Amino acid sequence: MVDKTVPLETLLAGETATVSRIAGHRHDVHRLEEFGLRGGSRIRMFRTGNPCILALGGGKVCLRCDPQLRILVERAAVTPGGLPEGVQPR
């Protein structure tokens, strides 16, 4: 079986994904879960960078990269036009 998970920071702006796993200090993982970011959550990369902004549920969450915290996601399926689901052509 091929692991299709990638680090959150590899998503493009507008790309959607499902959170597969969050690894890090228990306190930090718990804090993200309080915001609604947990395994199975559907997210959209609103703005890339550091910090990045994610659309999550009905709101947005701003995250700064932390080497002690790793968020793995599975990209949404690619549309017939060749773009990831949710990404609009320019």
Domain layout of the chain by residue ranges: 5-75
Domain 5-75 in this protein, CATH class: mainly beta
CA neighbor of 55 nearest in space, from 10, 89, 20, 86? 86
Of the candidates 77, 42, 47, the residue with the CA atom closest to the CA atom of residue 58: 42
pLDDT, tens digit (0-9, with 9 covering 90-100), for 11-55: 999 999 999 999 999 999 999 999 899 999 999 999 999 999 999
Task: Say whether pLDDT at 1 is over 60.
Answer: no
What is the pTM assigned to this prediction?
0.80
